[in-house]
Amino acid sequence: MGSHVVRLLCERGERVRVLVRPTSRLNLLEGLPVEPVEGDLRDVESLRVLLRGASTAYHVAADYRLWASDPTEIYRSNVDGTANFMSAARLEAVPKLVYTSTVGCLGVPRDGSLGTEETPVKLEDMVGHYKRSKFLAEQGVMERARVGLPVVIVNPSTPIGSGDIRPTPTGRVIVDFLAGRIPAFVDTGLNIIDVRDVAAGHLLAAEKGRAGQKYVLGCRNVSLAEWLAMLAAICERPPPRICIPHCLAFAAAAVCTAWAGTVTRREPLISLESVRMSRKKMFFSPAKAVRELGLPQSAVETALKDAVRWFCKHGYVSLKVPPK
């Protein structure tokens, strides 16, 4: 998301300063007229240098992992890092802020209706360290907004498209499917959106968003089976047909996670957090963002094709039949 926000700002002629670490991979910024500032979310002084004189600040960074050998790293980046960013913005008197949260911090109605920015939720509802850390971070931002910090919160759903360099857990699903590592699926669902629309939503939030308000940046609600079927159509291959029970997926994830935690110390193929999260269909309404911000609603099939092409082009996987 961050690289797409930066690219869109550059296309609009804005002068852009970006935070980079010594170990940052800057491939996605190549050719863009940006000013890199070396620092870290855990270093308030480096953030003050980044934000000095800025008219608008976008905090898009996050540690997006569903497994970590040391979960405290996730909290240091997502909770402490966000608090540091907001403190630096206050000290530098930045007049407008946009904070990137996630729909994972929002409530999911029990009656099957769509979640919104106002659906009740509490910390106990958060599954796993990533969601807990983002929930705590968002709560901290909201507290600062209540005492006057000029910050707008955006809650992206599941961005799809090019540039998922790590890849994130979302991109990993696409890569694993392309590599033939998803023979079955569980009964779950999520909201997906073109990552370029998410980037546009950030700029629209800065332009039109109301301070202290949250906006769901989402588009289309799909089941996991529908998502995989769309990918299968792009790749001209049969989609997986086997829907496995959550209990079986949980058992497999428990084995994979235990093996990762004690032997490989690397991200498991299936994590317990991902299976626990899949018990709820993460369906949301972007109506508020569409109405108040003018959030675009581009075809998600195009975004999926972009993602497949990008992963193939950059060597994450190869396809006998490349997408058209």
Quickly list DSSP for 115-143. B-TTS---GGG--HHHHHHHHHHHHHHHH
Average confidence (pLDDT) over 278-302: 95
Average pLDDT over residues 173-189: 91
Q: What pLDDT is recorded for position 151?
A: 98
In terms of Cβ atoms closer than 10 Å to its own Cβ (0-12, 13-18, 19+), residue 199 is buried
Q: Which CATH number characterizes residue 17's domain?
A: 3.40.50.720
What is the rounded distance in angstroms from the CA atom of residue 202 to the CA atom of residue 186?
Answer: 32
The answer to whether position 21 is within a domain reads: yes
How confident is the model at residue 323, as a pLDDT?
A: 61
Q: What is the pLDDT of residue 66?
A: 77
Higher pLDDT, 22 or 93: 93
Q: What pLDDT was estimated at residue 155?
A: 98
CB-count burial class (<10 Å; 0-12, 13-18, 19+) for 106? buried
- How high is the pLDDT of residue 202? 98
Asked whether residue 320 is assigned to any structural domain, the reply reads no
Quote the number of domains for the chain.
Answer: 1
The answer to whether residue 323 sits within a structural domain is: no
CA distance 216 to 196: 15
Lowest mean pLDDT among 84-93, 180-189, 254-263: 254-263
Q: What is the pLDDT of residue 149?
A: 97
Whether 318 is in a domain gets the answer no
Whether 252 is in a domain gets the answer: yes
**Confidence class for position 126, pLDDT limits 50, 70, 90:** very high
Band (322; pLDDT cuts 50, 70, 90): low
Q: What is the mean pLDDT of the chain?
A: 92
Averaged pLDDT for residues 96-102 = 98
Answer yes or no: is pLDDT of 320 > 80. no
User: What confidence category does residue 287 fall into, taking pLDDT thresholds of 50, 70 and 90?
Assistant: very high
pLDDT band at 324 (very low <50, low <70, confident <90, very high): low
Which pLDDT score is estimated for 279? Answer: 79
Mean pLDDT, residues 10-22 taken together: 95
- Structural contact between residues 129 and 71, judged by C-beta atoms closer than 8 angstroms: yes
Per-residue pLDDT at 210 exceeds 80: yes
Determine which of 64-68, 81-85, 178-182 has the lowest per-residue pLDDT on average: 64-68
The C-alpha atoms of residue 174 and residue 224 are separated, in whole angstroms, by: 11
Between 258 and 79, whose confidence is greater?
79
Q: What is the mean pLDDT of residues 138-156?
A: 97
Per-residue confidence (pLDDT) for residue 321, from 0 to 100: 53
* Residue of 307 and 258 predicted with greater confidence: 307
pLDDT of amino acid 147: 96
Q: Rounded CA gap, 302 and 230, in Å?
A: 10
| Segment 125-149 mean pLDDT | 96
Which contiguous run of DSSP H or E holds residue 18? strand 16-20
Instruction: Provide Rg for the chain, Cα atoms.
Output: 19
Q: Give the residue numbers spanning the domain of 35.
A: 2-313
User: Average pLDDT for residues 27-49, to the nearest whole number?
Assistant: 94
Q: What is the pLDDT of residues 225-279, one digit of tens each?
A: 999 999 999 988 899 999 988 888 878 878 877 777 777 777 777 777 788 778 7
Higher pLDDT, 181 or 298: 298
Is 322 a domain residue?
A: no
The share of the chain scoring above pLDDT 90, in percent, equals 75
Is residue 179 in some structural domain? yes
The residue-averaged pLDDT of 28-35 equals 93
